[in-house]
Structure 1
Amino acid sequence: MALEGWDWFIKLAENENFTKAADELQISQHSQQTLSARLVSLERNLGAKLVVRGTPISLTSAGKVFLLYAREQRQAQQDMIRQIGEVAGGGAGVLKVGISHTRGSYLMPKVIHRLSEELPAVTVKLIEDTNRNLLRSAERGEVDVAIARFEGTCPGVEVEPIYKDSGAMGTSPESAIDILKGEGIGALKKCPFILGSVDDISGRVAYSELRNAGIKPHVVATSGNMPTLLSLCSEGLGAVFCPTDMLDYSPMASPDLLRIPLSSQSSYTIELGIPSRSERWQVVDSFRRILLEVTAEK
C-alpha cells in the first residue's frame, strides 16, 4: 500500500463513481476495471470492506476511516516535499490555487509568471471552479489558497480582502438601442439574456439585478464559462452580466460591447483565503505577496 497509491481512493470517494474517478486520474487502460481491481486488492490487504458498490458508490464506516487517514498521509507527503524544498533552498512542490475561470484568465498569467521567476521549482496547479465550490475546497483544505468572494467567516480559513470589484452588463450594439445609455438596466425588459450559474458571483448578481429591476428575463442560453458567455454576447445573441474587471482587462471581452453600469449592490470584495495549518508553507506567503502586488497595479 504505497503512499502515492492512495490518491486514487481519495478521488473515488470524492467522485462516488469509478468512471469519473478514472477520468480525473487519467487512467486510460481498463479505466473502471483498473480502479475496481485496486479496490479489491486494498480491501483484501486491510481485511475490511471499504466501499458499497452502487450508483453512486458509498463508503462503509471502515472506508470513511481509511479516507481520513489517506488524506492525512497525502498532506504529510506534500508537507515533506515542501519542507525539503525549503531546506534545500528556493522552495519546491505543487501550489494548489483555487480561482474562478473568469478571474484566473486575467489575474494568474502575471502572478504565475512572477512566481515562476522567483521560485522556479514550484509548480502551480490551478483549480478553477465556481465560487461556491471554491469556498468548500478552502474549508476542506483541498487548496493552498483560494481567491473568491467569501461573504463572511469561513471555518478554518484565514481570509483577507484583496480588491473590490463590481458587476456590469455588456451587450452588443446590434442587440441594444440608443436609449439604453440613458435608461440603464430597466430599458432591457425586451432584451434577450445570456446568463451564468447562480453558483457563481456573476450569476447571483445577474438574477438580483433583474429581480430588483422587475425584469423577467428571456434567457437565450446559460453557461458556467464566462468567455463563452462573452462570445455569445459579441455575436449579438443577448446581454451578459460579468465583472467589470473582465471587461477592463480580459482580451476575451470585445471592445465593441456596450457597457451598462449596475446598481451599487452589485459591488463586492474579492478575498484571499488560506486554510489554517500548523506550519505555513513559505511559498504561500510568496504567492500572497505577488498577488497583492499584481492587484495593486490594476
Structure 2
Amino acid sequence: MELHQLRCFIVVAQELHFGHAAQQMNMLPSALGRYIKLLEEELGTRLLSRSTRNVSLTPHGKIFLEEAQRIVTLSDELLERFQNISRINAGRLRIGAIDSAAVGLIPHILHIFCDNNPGIEIQIMEDKTTKLLPRLKSGRLDLIFIRPMEQMDESLETYFLFYEDIVLAVADTHKLATLKEIHIDNLLDVPLIVPERKIRPHSHDLTLKLFEHTTFKPRLIQMADEKQTIINMVAADLGAAIMPRWVSRMSIPHVKFIPLAKEYENIRKKLPIAAVWIKDSRDEARDKMLVILKNELAKIAEAY
C-alpha cells in the first residue's frame, strides 16, 4: 500500500466520480480504476460500490477513508516540517570535531569554504567522539570529524580521511630525550600517562597496542584525560605519553617529542580520522564542505 494509492482513493471518495477524480489526479480514469482495484485486493475488502451511474463508499470504505486521510495528512505535515528544517539549515553548517581535527583539518578547509560561501554561518563544536555521534544522529550537528568505530551505525555515512602519526612526549630532562627515535624496549620501566579507556578508547588502546608483543608490561598511570593536561604532566616529568604528532604543535616548554621507529608504523591505524554524516540526507552546505575536504585531503594528511 502506497501513499499515492491512498491519495487516489481519497479523491475518488470525495468526488464519487472516476472521471472527475481522474482529472484532479491528472490520470486516465482507467488507470485510476486500476489503482483502486489493486488497493482493494491488497486490503482484501471492497471500498467502493460501483454501478453504471453511481459510485458510493462501502461501510469499510467509510472507515478506511478516515484512516487514509489521517495518514496522508501526517505524511504531508512531516514532509513540510523537514522541508522547513532544510530551508532553515541552508544558510548554516554545524560541525563537530575531535581535538585532532579541530587543530589542523578544520581551519584548513574552513578558510577555503568561507571564502567561497560568505553567506553561510558556521558553528563548530569540539568534543570527544562519544559525545559527537549522538549529537549528529539527533540532528544537532550536520557533519562531524571523529575517530570511527569498528562497527558504525548503518544510518551514517563514513568517509575515511587518514591515520595520524604518533610520537612519544617526554620531559626535556628525561633519559630518553636525547634519542632520535623510540623503540618499545626503551620504555621498560618508564611510567606512561594514559587517559581512561571509556573516555578516550583510541588513545588508551594505542599505548597498549605498542606492547602487544613485548616480554614486559607497560607501567600505566591514569592521571588525566585531556591532552593539554597530559602534556603538562609530561613537562613536570611525572611520566611519558604516547600521543598524536599534532600535539607537538602545542607551545609547551620543557617537552620533547620523539617519533616512533619506522617498524611501528602499523600502530598508526589505531588513530584514524573520518568524516561522518547522516546517510541519504540532503544538505547543500555540508556537501560543499565535503567537496573542499576531498580536494584538499592530500595536503591536510601531510600535516598529520
**1:196 equivalent in alignment to 2:195:** yes
Which residue is equivalent to 2:217? 215
Provide closer, same or farther for how the CA distance between residues 136 and 241 of structure 1 changes in structure 2, counting only shifts above 3 A.
Answer: farther
Q: Post-superposition shift, 1:177?
A: 3.4
In structure 2, relative to structure 1, the CA distance for the partners of 1:182 and 1:291 (3 Å cut) is: closer
Q: CA separation of 1:136/1:81 partners in 2, compared to 1, >3 Å: closer, same or farther?
A: closer
In the alignment, what sits opposite 2:145? 147
- Partner of 2:89, secondary structure, is helix
**1:181 offset after TM fit, Å?**
5.2
TM-score by length of structure 1 reads: 0.60
Matched, 1:289 2:296: no
Contact 2:208–2:218, Cα closer than 8 Å, also in 1: no
Q: Which residue of 2 aligns with 1:157?
A: 156
Partner of 1:236: 237
Larger Rg: 2
1:272 to 266, 275, 285: 275
Partner in structure 1 of residue 86 of structure 2? 79
| Partner residue, 1:65 | none
Q: For the Cα contact (< 8 Å) 2:182–2:260, is it kept in 1?
A: no
How far apart are residue 166 of structure 1 and its match? 3.7
The offset of 1:230, in angstroms, is: 2.3
CA distance in 2, matches of 1:134, 1:160: 16
Q: Is the 8 A contact 1:169 1:242 kept in 2?
A: yes
CA contact (8 A) 1:98 1:134 kept: yes
Which residue in 1 is equivalent to 2:126? 128
Give a deviation string over 1:217-263, Cα, whole Å, max 9, x none: 2426222x22332233234332112113443xx34466951414173
- Which residue matches 2:12? none
The equivalent of 2:206 in structure 1 is 205
Change (3 A) 1:171 1:265: same
Within 2, Cα distance between the matches of 1:231 and 1:75?
47
How far apart, in 2, do the equivalents of 1:220 and 1:175 lie?
A: 19
Change (3 A) 1:125 1:182: closer
2:96 and 2:143 in contact (8 A); partners too: yes
Alignment-mate amino acid for residue 130 of structure 1? K
| 3-state secondary structure, aligned to 1:97 | strand
Contact 2:94–2:143, Cα closer than 8 Å, also in 1: yes
Change (3 A) 1:273 1:180: same
C-alpha contact (below 8 Å) 2:109/2:293 kept by paired residues: yes
Is the CA contact (8 Å cut-off) linking 1:175 and 1:191 kept in structure 2? no
Q: Give the CA deviation at 1:184.
A: 1.3
- Secondary structure of the 1:222 match is coil
Amino acid at match of 2:221: V
Root-mean-square deviation over aligned CA pairs = 3.2
SS in 1 for 2:118: coil
8 A Cα contact 1:168 1:260, kept in partner? yes
TM superposition shift of 1:145: 1.1
Alpha-carbon offset, residue 156 of structure 1 = 0.8
* Alpha-carbon shift at residue 265 of structure 1 (Å): 4.2
Query: How far has the Cα of 1:98 moved from its partner?
Result: 1.8
User: Which residue, out of 97, 100, 103, partners 1:99?
Assistant: 97
The amino acid that maps onto 2:219 is: P
Per-residue deviation, 1:275: 0.8
Identity across the alignment (%): 17
TM, length-normalised to structure 2? 0.59
2:171 maps to 1:172: yes
Query: 2:96, 2:141 within 8 Å by CA — same for their partners in 1?
Result: yes
